[in-house]
Structure 1
Amino acid sequence: MNRRTILLLGTAAAATVGAAIMLTPDRTEPPVSTATPLAFPGLAPRLANAARIEVTRHDGTLTVNREGEAWVLPAKAGHPVRPEKVRELLVGLTELRLTEPRTANPELLERLGVEDPTKQGATSSLLRVLDAQGGVIAELIIGRRRMRVQGNVPESVYVRRPGEAQAWLAEGRLPIDSDPNLWIDRDIANIPRERVRAAEIERVGEPRLVLRRGGEPDGTMAVVEPAETPELDEISLDEVGRAFEFLTFLDVQRAADIPGEKIGEARFALTDDLRIAVVAHKDGENLWVRLSAEGGEEGQRLNARWQGWAYQVGQWKEKAFVPRLADLVKEQRAPAPDQAPAAEAPATPGTAAQPAPPAQQPN
C-alpha cells in the first residue's frame, strides 16, 4: 500500500467520525450551578417598605427609624445617621448567601457566636428590619466573622435564623454595629486657622475680648481689646484661631434642650465673608455649644447641618470659643534653683572670725 492510498483512507475515516459526532443527539446534562442560595430571596423590593432597623444585644437594643427619606437615631435625639451606613447594611442583607450548614446542636451555637442574643454575656446580635406596622421583613442572628487568610476572598460570617437550631456560614458583608456613635457623622466643621480673622468674645462676668489676626494669612492672633494686657501666650491665642479645625462632637441634643447654664458667646469673622456665632453652655464639666453661620452658600450649607442641634465638644474647646483674658495670659515660671540669689558662705568649721584691724590714728 503506497503513501497516497494511506492518506486517502485516513481522510475518509476522519470524515466518518466527524459525521457520527454531529449526527449523534446530545444527551449530556447541563452543568450544575455552583451558586449558593440567597439567605433572603426576593428581599430587595420588600425593603422599600422598611421603616425600622433594630440591633439587639445582651446589653440593649439600638433602633434606627425612618423619617421620610432620612434614617435617624432616637438614642441621639433623632439625629440623622449616615445614609451609606444604612444602604450598606440593607444591600448586604439582599446579597447574603448561605454557603455551608454548620452545627445544629444548641450547645455548640456559642462557639460560632450565634447563641441567644439576650443571654447575659452573649456575643451575638439579632438584626431585624421591620415595616411601619411592625411586621418583620427580615431577621437574622449574626455571630462571629470568619477571618480571611487569602486576598480577593469574600467576607463571611456565621448566622442563624431565629427559631431555628441550624447555624450557617454565610458569604457577604453585614456592617452591623450596636454603638450609636458608629452610625452618625460626628464631624461638625474643619475650617483652617488661617481663615479666622477676628473673634469677639463675651464671657459671662468677664470683660469683652476682641482678637484680630495680623495682615498676612499666617499672621498671629492678638488681643486688641482691652488695649493693655499682661504678656500673652501665643499658643493660647492660636487656639482661638483653631476653634473650628477638626471640630467633632461627643454627644448631640436638640438645640432647645441644650444642657447646663450659658457661660458666654462669641462671634467669629472668617475669610470669604463667612461669619460664625457660638453660644456656649457648661453642664458640670461638659461643654455644649450651639452654632450658626451666615455668609453666602458656605454659610447656608453649614447652617443646614447645624440648625436645630446642640453639640457636646471637648472640654479644651472652652478656651478656644469663650476664653477669659486670664486664659490667654502667659504663665509666669518660677526662677530655676540655680538662678536663686547666692547665700553668704559660712565660716570654715573650727576657725573663728578674725576681728577687723583697728583704724590707724593720725599722727
Structure 2
Amino acid sequence: MIDIRHGQRVRRLQVLAVLAGLLTVLAIFLNIGGNETPQTTGRMGKPVLPDFAEARADAAEIRITLADESYSLINGPDGWTLKGSGGYPVRADRLASLAGGLGDLTWGEGRTRDPGKMNRIGLGDPRDGGTGALIEIINEAGTVTASLITGRKGSIVYARLPGEEQAFRVNGDLPPLYNHDAWLDLDIIDIHSDAVSAVRLFDARGNSLYLQRSVGSSDRSFRPAPPYQDYRLVSRIAASTPALALTRFQPIGVKPASKLTTRPVARHITETHDGLEVDLQAYREPDGYFVTLRAIEAGEGAQRGSTINQKASGWAFELTEFDWNEFTPSISSIVRPPQPSDPASPAQP
C-alpha cells in the first residue's frame, strides 16, 4: 500500500513539473512575441508629431525608407508625383490618407524597449535592415522637419521616433507603405463588359479584324463583322477575350510616352454602344510591355473620353505580359479566312 501511494505521489509531482515547464515556455514565448505589459507614460494621448501641420505646409518631399527599397513623393509645380515615374501624379486619396493619418496619430501605451523585439512589431529600423517603415518629411532646403518609424502587427499600429528605443502603440491609422507602385493613380478606365459593342484589331503581321455584337447579347456573342463576315471563329472565347480586354485594364507601371524606344506592334480599338472609342497601341519595349491610349469623343461618350485623355495623354502604361497578350493576339488565333472549297461551319463553343 505504501508503495502504491508513493508511486501516485511521484506521478503527481511529475505532472506538476510538466505543467510548470509548459507555463514557463508559454511565458517565454509571449515575452519574445512582444506582448509585454503595457506601460503608462507621459506621452499617452499626445500627438505623435505635434508640429506636423507646419511640416506639412512646407513639405517638398515625403521619403519612405524600407529595408529593401526607398521611394519619394515629390511636391512639384504640377502637384505630387512619384520620383522616377517621369512626373506621373500620385493618388490624391492615398496622399490625403497619409497626411491625415500622420496628423491625427496620438501616443498610446509604451511597449518594448528591447531592440531584439522591434522587428516583431514592425519597428526595426529599415536603415539597418529592420521591418519598419521610416517616414521623413523634407522641406525645400532639404531639411527633415518630421520623421517617424512605423509598423503594424495585425490591426495594431506601432511607432517610435528615430533614435529612440521605446516602442509605442499609437492611436490612428496609416495607409500601406510597402508598395511604391500603389501610389500611382492608374485607375484610367472604367468600362463594364456590357458596354462594349465592337473591337477592331490589327496584329503584328498587318492583318486586321472587326468583331461586333448586338446590345444585350452575352460576352461570347462577338462575331466577325463586315468585311469579315465570312470568316470562321476558332472559338467564341478566342473572340471575347480580346474584345473585352479593355474592361480588365490594370496597369502595373507607367513612363512618359516620349521614352518609348520601339514602334507599335499592334493596335486595339474598343467601341461602346454609346459612342465611345478607345484606341490602344501596344509596344514591346526592352524594359517591359507597354500601351498608349487615346479616347475618341463621340456622342454620349464625349465626357468619359475627355476624362480618359486627361489621365492617359502623354503616358505609356506598363502591363503584365499576360494582359498585354490579350490586346495583341494574332488574327489567325481568332478566325480562319473563308476557303472556297470548305463549306461554312458554325463557331466552336
State if a TM-score over 0.5 links the two structures: yes
* Structure 1 position 111, deviation (Å): 4.7
Report the Cα distance in structure 2 between the residues aligned to 1:101 and 1:161, rounded to whole angstroms. 13
Q: Compared with structure 1, are the counterparts of its residues 221 and 42 closer, same or farther at alpha carbon in structure 2 (3 Å cutoff)?
A: same
Q: Do residues 202 (structure 1) and 202 (structure 2) align?
A: yes
Q: Which amino acid aligns with 1:240?
A: P
Report the Cα distance in structure 2 between the residues aligned to 1:188 and 1:60, rounded to whole angstroms. 27
* Structure 1 position 45, deviation (Å): 3.7
Q: Which has the larger radius of gyration?
A: 1
Deviations, residues 46-74 of structure 1 (Å, cap 9, x unaligned): 31111211111222212111124632112
Aligned residue number for residue 281 of structure 1 = 283
Report the Cα distance in structure 2 between the residues aligned to 1:164 and 1:319, rounded to whole angstroms. 51
Deviations, residues 142-163 of structure 1 (Å, cap 9, x unaligned): 2343x56xxxxxxx43322122
Q: Compared with structure 1, are the counterparts of its residues 112 and 280 closer, same or farther at alpha carbon in structure 2 (3 Å cutoff)?
A: closer
Q: Do residues 96 (structure 1) and 105 (structure 2) align?
A: yes
Aligned residue number for residue 143 of structure 1 = 151
* Structure 1 position 176, deviation (Å): 4.3
Aligned residue number for residue 298 of structure 1 = 304
Among residues 136, 142, 145, which one is paired with 1:134 in the alignment?
142
Query: Which of structures 1 and 2 has the larger relative contact order (alpha carbons within 8 angstroms, sep 6+)?
Result: 2
CA contact 1:285–1:315 (8 Å) conserved in 2: no
Aligned residue number for residue 217 of structure 1 = 216
Q: Do residues 46 (structure 1) and 55 (structure 2) align?
A: yes
1:221-232 counterparts in 2 under 5 A? Answer: 221-223=222-224, 224-232=226-234
Deviations, residues 259-305 of structure 1 (Å, cap 9, x unaligned): 54421223333222212111111237953211100211111111111
Q: Which amino acid aligns with 1:329?
A: V
Q: Do residues 321 (structure 1) and 331 (structure 2) align?
A: no
Report the Cα distance in structure 2 between the residues aligned to 1:135 and 1:106, rounded to whole angstroms. 27
Q: Compared with structure 1, are the counterparts of its residues 206 and 108 closer, same or farther at alpha carbon in structure 2 (3 Å cutoff)?
A: closer
Q: Compared with structure 1, are the counterparts of its residues 264 and 72 closer, same or farther at alpha carbon in structure 2 (3 Å cutoff)?
A: same
Among residues 40, 54, 75, which one is paired with 1:66 in the alignment?
75
Q: Compared with structure 1, are the counterparts of its residues 232 and 84 closer, same or farther at alpha carbon in structure 2 (3 Å cutoff)?
A: same
Report the Cα distance in structure 2 between the residues aligned to 1:227 and 1:38, rounded to whole angstroms. 69
SS at match of 1:79: coil
CA contact 1:189–1:246 (8 Å) conserved in 2: no
User: How many matched pairs?
Assistant: 288
Aligned residue number for residue 166 of structure 2 = 166
CA contact 1:89–1:176 (8 Å) conserved in 2: no
Q: Compared with structure 1, are the counterparts of its residues 118 and 243 closer, same or farther at alpha carbon in structure 2 (3 Å cutoff)?
A: same
Aligned residue number for residue 238 of structure 2 = 236
Q: Compared with structure 1, are the counterparts of its residues 95 and 325 closer, same or farther at alpha carbon in structure 2 (3 Å cutoff)?
A: closer
1:98-117 counterparts in 2 under 5 A? Answer: 98-106=107-115, 108-117=117-126
* Structure 1 position 249, deviation (Å): 0.7
Among residues 79, 82, 86, which one is paired with 2:88 in the alignment?
79
1:11-26 counterparts in 2 under 5 A? Answer: none
Aligned residue number for residue 31 of structure 2 = none
* Structure 1 position 252, deviation (Å): 1.4
CA contact 1:192–1:244 (8 Å) conserved in 2: no
SS at match of 2:174: coil
Bigger mean CA offset, 239-248 vs 260-269? 260-269
Q: Compared with structure 1, are the counterparts of its residues 233 and 160 closer, same or farther at alpha carbon in structure 2 (3 Å cutoff)?
A: same
Aligned residue number for residue 26 of structure 1 = none
Q: Which amino acid aligns with 1:212?
A: Q
Q: Compared with structure 1, are the counterparts of its residues 234 and 104 closer, same or farther at alpha carbon in structure 2 (3 Å cutoff)?
A: closer
Bigger mean CA offset, 267-276 vs 103-112? 103-112
SS at match of 2:247: coil
* Structure 1 position 164, deviation (Å): 2.7
CA contact 2:260–2:285 (8 Å) conserved in 1: no
SS at match of 1:297: helix
Bigger mean CA offset, 286-295 vs 254-263? 254-263
Q: Do residues 178 (structure 1) and 178 (structure 2) align?
A: yes
Instruction: For structure 2, list consecutive stretches of 5 or more residues without a partner in the other structure.
Output: 1-41, 337-349
Report the Cα distance in structure 2 between the residues aligned to 1:34 and 1:139, rounded to whole angstroms. 17
Aligned residue number for residue 258 of structure 2 = 256
Report the Cα distance in structure 1 between the residues aligned to 2:151 and 2:251, rounded to whole angstroms. 31
Report the Cα distance in structure 2 between the residues aligned to 1:288 and 1:323, rounded to whole angstroms. 15
Aligned residue number for residue 350 of structure 1 = none
CA contact 1:88–1:175 (8 Å) conserved in 2: yes
Instruction: For structure 1, list consecutive stretches of 5 or more residues without a partner in the other structure.
Output: 1-32, 149-155, 331-363
